[in-house]
Structure 1
Amino acid sequence: MKYAVITGTSKGLGASVAKQLMEASVHVIGLARGKNQELENADLPGSYKHYQVDLSDIEQTEATFQNIISFLKGQLVESLQLVQNAALVSPIEQAGKQDIAQLTAHVHVNLLAPMVVTNLWLDAWRDTDLSLVIANVTSGAANRSVYGWNAYGSTKAGLDRYTNTVALEQEMLGTGHKVFLFDPSIMDTDMQGEIRSADPSQFVDVDQFKNYKAENKLRDTDVVAKVLVDRLLNEASIQNGEYYSVKNIFK
């Protein structure tokens, strides 16, 4: 059976990717702080199994993924994909005015958790014939400095470098595993709403993001998810270490 493990499936892009993979007969394991009853109750070719977890809690994250690995090792797995989608945008604030607890949670969810999970994942399937696919969701903010997004831009830049390095390692080791970046660009999500609610003193580009919404420039998550799902369903098309963006499709 084909399996995909996806973080951040309670809503937004993660929920859309999960549903579309289930429609394609992929069995999805979703992780989020909140449940997604729509996915759990869905009558689709692929099943949905949910794990509640706070990815900012690294011990909880490690224990949860160990449980997922134990579950999967008891299944007949012919294909296994990992989509690390969960992320935080807050704190949206200039350095020197940030809450330390919020900053710590941000770094844990956006960067440390994906590193820990990738480490567990590659180790868990080391002695198997499975060719793994890992997709890490990034952002254009990784490549440019934005006032108030010092945390978000830095963690996404760190995730990009980490992904590229792991891809290089897997290539040189000849494992056949593929690790790549997916940039969804701007979507109509709760995160966008959080960005629009920021004070201009915290985020000087807030009016630009308000205009994205007013001018209907935010893509629906189902539209964005289809771009990623089409790629995931055609594993042969995935290039190890590639940066794959929605902008490549909607030019």
Structure 2
Amino acid sequence: MKYAIVTGASKGLGEGIARKLLEEQVKVIAVSRSDNEELHEVARKIDGDYHYFRCNLASTEETLAVFQRISETIFQQTTEAVYLINNAGIVDPIETVGDLNDTAILDNVQINLTAPVLISNLIIKQAEKTQIPLTIANVTSGAAERPVHGWSIYCSTKAAINMFTRTTGLELENKASSTKMIAYSPGIMDTDMQTTIRSSTEKAFYDVDKFKEYKEKGMLRSPAIVANALVKLMFEGNLENGKVYYVNDLL
């Protein structure tokens, strides 16, 4: 049997990834602050296997406790492969430096960077102990590679995720591990994050009108299309450890 852990699976890209994995008859473990009843229904209709773990990824203690429980569940003798998709992320705070909220800064760093690092560290350790093939995909952003006015924290955490992916990939290659880690840049999608971005003020985010135009002109991809491309890549691609893959190159 194959297991996939998807963080932020209750909506958006995470929901799309979970749906596609269920269709591929992978046992899905969803991790988020709230559950998605539609995913339970999808699993029932196709005789799939879907489990939900509530977790606030802004809490280090809760994150480590939940993922320890998950790792004890999935790393068994009957497990053929494990997939981990670190998808959960937030764009807030959207504001210029000097006007940033302290709590919002800490939450962004914790959810976008610290949690994926902690989770990957724990899951890789279990995979190497049990010799079960593991593939990790860290969802990143084009904002990791360029400065965006008002997104100093989001750009920084996504840039850090890219470097974490590249460095971990190098380490895995150097020790000839069967584990693969990649990053996946999904482009702009029609998700709640886009709604948050469009509600920004021009003072806080200079490009807000451009993002409103993306929506108005139907330029936002559906999360399902982007999710399907990632799942296909993980299942069919000869993955290069540490590489950042871009959705535009896969469609």
SS at match of 2:53: strand
Q: Distance in 1 between matches of 2:250 and 2:7?
A: 24
Query: Structure 1 residue aligned with 2:117, among 115, 118, 131?
Result: 115
Greater shift in the superposed pair: 88-97 or 118-127: 118-127
1:60 maps to a residue whose letter is E
**Aligned 8 A contact 2:75 2:130 in 1:** no
For structure 2, list consecutive stretches of 5 or more residues without a partner in the other structure: none
**1:11-50 aligned within 5 A:** 11-42=11-42, 43-50=45-52
Partner of 1:207: 209
SS at match of 2:182: strand
Partner of 2:57: 55
Q: Distance in 1 between matches of 2:161 and 2:53?
A: 23
Q: Distance in 1 between matches of 2:47 and 2:86?
A: 23
Q: Distance in 2 between matches of 1:74 and 1:38?
A: 28
Q: Distance in 2 between matches of 1:190 and 1:20?
A: 20
**1:68-83 aligned within 5 A:** 68-74=70-76, 76-83=78-85
Partner of 2:104: 102
Percent identical residues: 41
Partner of 1:238: 239
For residue 74 of structure 1, report the CA deviation from its aligned partner: 4.4
Partner of 2:135: 133
1:151-196 CA-to-partner distances (Å, cap 9, x unmatched) read: 0000000000001000000000111211001010000000000000
TM-score (norm. length: structure 1): 0.97
Partner of 1:165: 167
Q: Distance in 2 between matches of 1:79 and 1:9?
A: 20
For residue 128 of structure 1, report the CA deviation from its aligned partner: 1.9
Q: Distance in 2 between matches of 1:40 and 1:75?
A: 26
SS at match of 1:54: coil
Q: Distance in 1 between matches of 2:22 and 2:234?
A: 12
**Aligned 8 A contact 1:170 1:177 in 2:** yes
SS at match of 1:81: strand
Query: Structure 2 residue aligned with 1:88, among 84, 87, 90?
Result: 90
**Aligned 8 A contact 1:40 1:50 in 2:** no
Q: Distance in 2 between matches of 1:210 and 1:231?
A: 30
Partner of 1:7: 7
SS at match of 1:125: helix
* Consecutive aligned runs of 4 or more in structure 1 exceeding 4 Å deviation: none
